[in-house]
Amino acid sequence: MTSKTIIVTGGTGAIGLSIARKFFETGCRVVILDLFQEKIDALTAEINNGNFTGFACDVTNENEIQMIFEKVFERHKSIDVLVNNAGLQHVAYVEEFPTEKFRMMLEVMLTAPFMAIKQALPYMKEKGFGRIINMASVNGLIGFAGKSAYNSAKHGLIGLTKVVALETAPYNITVNAICPGYVDTPLVRNQLQDIAQTRNLPLEKVLEEVIFPLVPQKRLLDPAEIANYVYFLSDDLARGITGQALVIDGGYTAQ
């Protein structure tokens, strides 16, 4: 993977940053996209290396994506790996779920990956190499009360993954979705508060009474575990894996 160019959306969050650092530490050129410029500036100043750069980007704006991808290609002469990781969560039962919030979550977690893939494919086809990893979820495979938008987006993302994998199979491009269970991130920690409210539980009881009964390993995953999985799927060692929804969940979906 040395000298490959990697784009990670949602690259300043816990999972996105872990992925970005993994590739950077192994000699790749990494470009992170995030909605907030100040977060990108802080990270790039901390790392202080020309092979770790970033752009402020609204991933739901295709013009912004197109312009950024053009800049990345102009600078690095390739776009080899795209990780569609940007996401957000809102937990509420359907009757109380704001319709605009539902639409916005699908835009970020389903339409935005479609647009990013659409913009990346010409560069990958030109080079004859590409790896696309979409960050789905176990909630792309099974339901969870209160997560109508998140589940809908992630189920759709797995469907998109399969279609693009079929369309790109002749071009040495693989397309896969990773389906993590509960990962120890701020997004999940905030979600625990939402679950506490919807289920009328004390916050300190949510892991013990709601989450861990679903997870045989009785733990939250580390973001580094997700980063290692993404890295493996990007390597030639995984060139025969495409169109798959690959689960890493501590045994959640084995039950």
pLDDT tens readout for residues 244-253: 999 999 999 9
Domain interval for residue 156: 5-181+222-254
Does some domain include residue 190? no
Does some domain include residue 188? no
Does some domain include residue 213? no
What value does the mean pLDDT of the chain take? 96
Going from the C-alpha of 124 to that of each of 80, 132, 165, 188, 243, the distances in angstroms are 6, 10, 13, 33, 17
pLDDT at 174: 98
Residue of 3 and 173 predicted with greater confidence: 173
Does some domain include residue 214? no
pLDDT at 195: 85
pLDDT at 150: 97
Asked whether the predicted pLDDT for residue 10 surpasses 80, the reply is yes
- Here the CATH number for the domain that contains residue 99 is 3.40.50.720
pLDDT at 199: 87
Question: pLDDT band at 55, cuts 50/70/90?
Answer: very high
Q: Specify whether the CB–CB gap between 111 and 162 falls below 8 A.
A: no
pLDDT at 16: 97
Asked whether the predicted pLDDT for residue 18 surpasses 80, the reply is yes
Residue of 186 and 225 predicted with greater confidence: 225
Supply the DSSP string of the chain, one letter for each residue.
-TT-EEEEETTTSHHHHHHHHHHHHTT-EEEEEES-HHHHHHHHHHH--TTEEEEE--TT-HHHHHHHHHHHHHHHS---EEEE-------B-GGGS-HHHHHHHHIIIIIHHHHHHHHHHHHHHHHT-EEEEEE--GGGTS--TTBHHHHHHHHHHHHHHHHHHHHHGGGTEEEEEEEE--BSSHHHHHHHHHHHHHTT--HHHHIIIIIGGG-TT-SPBPHHHHHHHHHHHHSGGGTT--S-EEEESTTGGG-
Per-residue pLDDT of 128-155, as tens digits, reads 999 999 999 999 999 999 999 999 999 9
The total domain count for the chain is: 1
Asked whether the predicted pLDDT for residue 1 surpasses 90, the reply is no
pLDDT at 186: 87
Does some domain include residue 209? no
Does some domain include residue 212? no
Per-residue pLDDT of 75-97, as tens digits, reads 999 999 999 999 999 999 999 99
Does some domain include residue 126? yes
- The sheet carrying 5-9 orders its strands as 52-56, 29-34, 5-9, 81-84, 130-135, 173-180, 245-248
Q: Which range has the worst mean pLDDT, 71-75, 117-121, 179-183, 193-197? A: 193-197
Average the pLDDT over 104-118 and give the result.
Answer: 98
Catalytic hit among 93, 123, 150, 231: 150
- Residue 150 catalytic? yes
pLDDT at 3: 87
